[in-house]
Chains A and B, each alone.
Chain A
């Protein structure tokens, strides 16, 4: 077994200060190994994007602040790293792909320059060589006519092409870890599948680890090896994709599964939504954050906050209830 590329331990991120302070990420731990795809799943406001941003210390400070935990990249704590050394890791050994391909590329610069930039910076290539590589990379992410398109500006690209360009940019320096924050949310369904397959294949080639932030359980089932389910800033269940799908153990995960349409479901049968609203992070209950929406809730759930406990092997959940019935 390889040692993990990245190990996150008890990460906590807060936003705001004083009375308005909100803990967006609370006591989150996970690790990811070379060649592995870890999916972090959760609804809007569950803290998954903030978790992703904090891995490269990109949380806007202020108002955000990483207030506790360790982020060990090959054993080195990124939270203690100097500004210069975190910069030498960003875009080089850990690359990031963002949610909005429309706005994540600089409209004033050519796509080629933006892909060449990390190569010139980290790879110490000349601009000419870096452009040459950028052209190859564009071809690699299957952009037709890459030799010409390398000089195009982002507005001349479609959404899918821009996301491919973002992937080319992320892959440029052959990183050990790629963090993809909802890379396909803004794209058409057909393009989504292409982009994710491309990402998966290319990371496999270099044996890079991939952290896939998503709210789409379909994506998770197809591409993830392991899964972390987040709710209200905490990991509520984690395990292999197999564990999570075949044997979900947290009521929230169960709810998510019940709310997606399935092919083997009878026609006309209604989906089962999770009742209620995601919690207000500024006013979390003392006990389990999911308790107000949980159909298994007991008195104990209101008093105590369940900790992550092993369900056997590397399958963990944070729940008191017996959900097997």
Chain B
């Protein structure tokens, strides 16, 4: 298994180089130039000379491919460059915000599973009953309603009806875990709900499939009750594809976080990215994308490794 893990980690490198190329190139294609923005903020009468000076100071006077190799060389040495605006190291900014988004994403995935697995199983066990239809309709609804809309509604209506609004002051987990969770719970719930919609349907389908298998009939013939059959015999087999789904959902979570962090004022990677895009802060954007890319690939690696826990036929060589 270690050899397999190592090989997978090595395979990350070419993927990341390729991804970085795309990121670096697309970021430059965003209309509007950082120099224009900087100059327009200070002085509307700035001339060509000021512009050249600024470009030179930020290293933007070089051709793009030289900028890229410079940046890539820096990344290889663990230097992600400096923010064009704050002049702070990009890596420091990212590392400060990564745990926050990680917490949000993890909470969202856990909440998604906690909602989806039991409901999916129940829906399968009571196939075509009113409950099943209700739960399936609910999942379609959650799939159809975008989380930014739910987020906005959660901000607006409770405050009108009950004078309650979700907390909007971020407290680090290490400082006050309860206050932190209190702040994170609502956005995580909103993200988790949208994730759970697909997971629930997958869980239901897989459960129906597994319940038709011969070994489930064998389990019935042994005299086991329904609960034991579902928990011991069916769930483990049905969970395998659902676990795969978590890997696929990782980028969705990060994409969702960008918007949800904005609504709930969570100083995570999403907010960092949004601000950086707004300011055309190229090194920050590229850094965030790179880290997100690594995270998504690592999550998928973990998912692949976890198959071994659920499926005894899987052995890593």
Contacts and interface: CB of A to CB of B under 8 A. Distances in A.
Closest 8 A/B residue pairs (Cβ): A91-B222, A90-B223, A91-B223, A103-B214, A153-B312, A106-B215, A96-B221, A108-B236
Interface in B285-317: 310-313
A231 interface: no
Interface in B236-263: 236-237
Given A106-B237, A107-B215, A107-B237, A153 B313 contact: yes
A38 interface: no
Given A106-B233, A107-B237, A107-B312, A121 B218 contact: no
A89 B310 CA distance: 31
Interface of A: 56, 58, 87-92, 95-96, 98, 100, 103-109, 114, 117-118, 121-122, 153, 155, 166, 169
Contact of A104 (B217, B223, B225): B217
B213 interface: yes
B220 interface: yes
Nearest to A113: B232
B223 A121 contact: yes
A90 B220 contact: yes
Interface in B207-230: 213-215, 217-225
B214 A56 contact: no
A87 B223 contact: yes
A87 B219 CA distance: 11
A105 B218 contact: yes
B223 A92 contact: yes
Contact of A121 (B213, B222, B237): B222
Contact of B223 (A105, A108, A118, A155): A118
Contact of A155 (B220, B224, B312): B312
A109 B7 CA distance: 29
B234 to A, nearest CB: 9
A58 B237 CA distance: 22
B173 to A, nearest CB: 36
Interface residues of B, number: 20
Contacts of B232: 109
A117 B224 contact: yes
B313 A95 contact: no
Contacts of A96: 218, 221
B221 A95 contact: yes
A120 to B, nearest CB: 10
A96 B220 CA distance: 10
Given A58-B217, A100-B214, A103-B213, A108 B312 contact: yes
Contacts of B224: 87, 91, 117, 121
B215 A104 contact: yes
Among B223, B225, B232, B233, residue most surrounded by chain A Cβ atoms (within 10 Å):
B223
Contacts of B222: 90-91, 117-118, 121, 169
B237 to A, nearest CB: 5
A214 to B, nearest CB: 18
Contacts of B313: 107, 153, 155
18 contacts: A56-B221, A90-B220, A96-B221, A98-B217, A100-B214, A103-B214, A104-B215, A104-B217, A106-B218, A107-B312, A107-B313, A108-B236, A108-B237, A109-B233, A117-B222, A118-B222, A118-B223, A166-B218
Contacts of B233: 106, 108-109
Contact of A58 (B215, B220, B225, B310): B220
Contacts of B236: 108-109
A320 to B, nearest CB: 39
Q: A58, A90, A106, A107: which has the most chain B beta carbons within 10 Å?
A: A106
A80 to B, nearest CB: 18
Interface string B161-190: 000000000000000000000000000000
Nearest to A117: B222
B312 A104 contact: no
Nearest to B212: A60
A89 B222 CA distance: 9
A106 B225 CA distance: 16
A122 B310 CA distance: 27
A107 B218 CA distance: 12
Contacts of A118: 222-223
A139 to B, nearest CB: 21
A108 B311 contact: yes
A122 B222 CA distance: 9
A87 B218 contact: no
Contacts of A92: 223
A108 B313 CA distance: 8
B221 A90 contact: yes
A109 B215 CA distance: 11
A107 B313 CA distance: 8
Contacts of A56: 221
B223 A103 contact: no
Nearest to B310: A108
Contacts of B223: 87-92, 118, 121-122
Nearest to B213: A103
A312 B93 CA distance: 96
A15 to B, nearest CB: 16
Given A90-B223, A117-B224, A105 B217 contact: no
